[in-house]
Structure 1
């Protein structure tokens, strides 16, 4: 039994920011060792490190009974995000890092937020309110300001490779959001193992050798933090925030990469970087204050996922009854988390919400 704690949207924001920090640090770190092996081998070792880290987390936490496991109908999107996000994206990134400076490549990663946001709003029918739009404009304006001042000397090929990685991750983020109601740790593990194993086998079959053990160990550690823990935390953010808002939060990752490049790799820090940093941080603060609420209707449907059972009415979307032997709380008046197949009855109400799996309704212009 897991008691209800805190605000899920606030928890999603914190998880998204932590994921951004871990991923933001990974790009400049990878650039240091990007010449030590082929992009395929480096990408394979990064995701091998991710898989090892996630297996350790799974062993520490044990089987989480309050999570909904992956089902057969989830396999197509899981395959898509594994190939695009776990293989295509990292290979393009590593290849691009061999052609660009760490700062330039980190800043170009802002394109991931643009692609994720456009796909989520235009194709995924997610809603982004006024505050969300303001936050997106602030952060992406900072990204444009940074990128414009730091692409000197970057090759077109390197830029296109980073853009290709961002497009792959933008599609990955939207596919992941559709699976975010499943066990996020299981999704992240399957993605990491499913991506690293074929890439490693292909690299070895092509005659590529493993890098020297200090580099190998470094890549495993970078992958554990920048891809393993980051993917898991980002799935939690996608669950609570939706892909559009997650993309705004995650777009702070390039800022982290630039800060690391300046402070550790000793790259130049310009006044434009300072202004852009302020814009990006202000955008996150605006997003934190967002409160989207209006009258809306839920149609009847059924699905399985982790949800809060709250007899006091704190979660009107999950007020269904449970068989007596399914009552997981010793006190039936206490809220708790669990997962099972359940039916949603039609309901109309008004409350604050985001574009999660329960709120894919239309919005009137200006609403």
Structure 2
């Protein structure tokens, strides 16, 4: 079986994941300084609820526009436990721990501790999820995390034990959320993001209102909904696409560039001062992302029998060996058999052995032993 078609398919998929991840990080990174401008408009719980409400509204609109044209595999009953887990942990436990922790820590120490999200995501992905990072990927991780620490000036001055534990708890919740999301990333990412946004915003908003908290004034309310639409809704959607194509470990590294985007906005729009630490952080992060872009992990590997459902493509002129199955079932023979087309259905993967560049996506969760 030739390796050239799968090489091109794999490289294209990884590029899509990197672009989606960087855009997700960009939207989320912009949200932090924007929220800081209107943070006095309400309680942290109310602000978080409105941000996720804005995300839900944006994703509902997107669902109405493109949802029926994506040919994605919808959420199934067996997906409900991990979906509930990522909604509760990532959408509720994480923000609540963050809100409580921020009241006990300085902004600098909180920002530094928030880098633990990447660390937890990486550890869970590699140790539990059997994902693989090459030597180049590990070097990229060190560079990007070093840049994140430099951005926050590496200071824990004024930190308290309880506040630090709360921030660490938030990061652990988000680390688990990221890995659960990666397991569901073969499902419709727009549907997953929408269910998460609704599941998180509704309970938090009800809790805030039950506690006697009021909605902010209209200008701030609309601003929060708009920030949530892009910084949370669109960002979550794109991040799920990055998780699909890159795996949780690499997605975490790409997404950890979000503080740098927020920094650029703060410098260019809010007029904050530029420091040498920021310059070194930018150089380290840029070098780390560059290494990820040039990463080329590939070796001879075996695919065991696998059955699952997700969006995939058949192209007779450039066949993907992972999806060479037939379509004898009713409703599966869609598209022109002589033309490439995207569709989704449950299908079987026969065992195959081949070599091509790959990452720890839904088709490549195998052991690596001593391979580089």
Q: Same fold (TM over 0.5)?
A: yes
Match of 2:245 in 1: 240
Match of 2:201 in 1: 196
User: How far apart, in 2, do the equivalents of 1:320 and 1:266 lie?
Assistant: 57
Q: Could you give the per-residue CA deviations for residues 159-210 of structure 1, whole angstroms, max 9, x where no partner exists? A: 5444332222111100000000000000000000011111111211222111
1:98: how far off? 5.3
Match of 1:13 in 2: 18
SS of residue in 2 equivalent to 1:35: helix
Match of 1:351 in 2: 356
Match of 1:82 in 2: 87
Alignment of 1:25-64 (within 5 A): 25-64=30-69
Match of 1:187 in 2: 192
1:334: how far off? 2.3
SS of residue in 2 equivalent to 1:210: coil
Alignment of 1:267-278 (within 5 A): 267-278=272-283
Q: Which runs of 5+ in 2 are unaligned?
A: 1-8
Q: Which moved more, 1:22-31 or 1:220-229?
A: 22-31
Normalization by structure 2: what TM-score?
A: 0.91
Question: Does the CA contact (< 8 Å) of 1:46 and 1:224 recur in 2?
Answer: yes
* Number of aligned positions between the proteins: 363
Distance change >3 Å, CA 30–CA 97, structure 1 → 2: farther
Q: Which moved more, 1:276-285 or 1:303-312?
A: 303-312
SS of residue in 2 equivalent to 1:326: coil
Match of 1:250 in 2: 255
Q: Which moved more, 1:338-347 or 1:101-110?
A: 101-110
Tell me whether 1:110 sits opposite 2:115 in the alignment.
yes
Match of 2:333 in 1: 327
User: How far apart, in 2, do the equivalents of 1:98 and 1:27 lie?
Assistant: 17
User: How far apart, in 2, do the equivalents of 1:168 and 1:24 lie?
Assistant: 19
User: How far apart, in 2, do the equivalents of 1:238 and 1:149 lie?
Assistant: 28
1:340: how far off? 0.3
Q: Which moved more, 1:281-290 or 1:103-112?
A: 103-112
Question: Does the CA contact (< 8 Å) of 1:138 and 1:279 recur in 2?
Answer: yes
1:114: how far off? 1.2
Tell me whether 1:227 sits opposite 2:236 in the alignment.
no
User: How far apart, in 2, do the equivalents of 1:30 and 1:358 lie?
Assistant: 38
User: How far apart, in 2, do the equivalents of 1:21 and 1:97 lie?
Assistant: 23
1:229: how far off? 0.4
1:106: how far off? 4.8
Distance change >3 Å, CA 314–CA 101, structure 1 → 2: farther
Question: Does the CA contact (< 8 Å) of 2:125 and 2:179 recur in 1?
Answer: yes
Q: Could you give the per-residue CA deviations for residues 51-99 of structure 1, whole angstroms, max 9, x where no partner exists? A: 0000111112141352000000000100011011111222333445556
Question: Does the CA contact (< 8 Å) of 1:313 and 1:319 recur in 2?
Answer: no
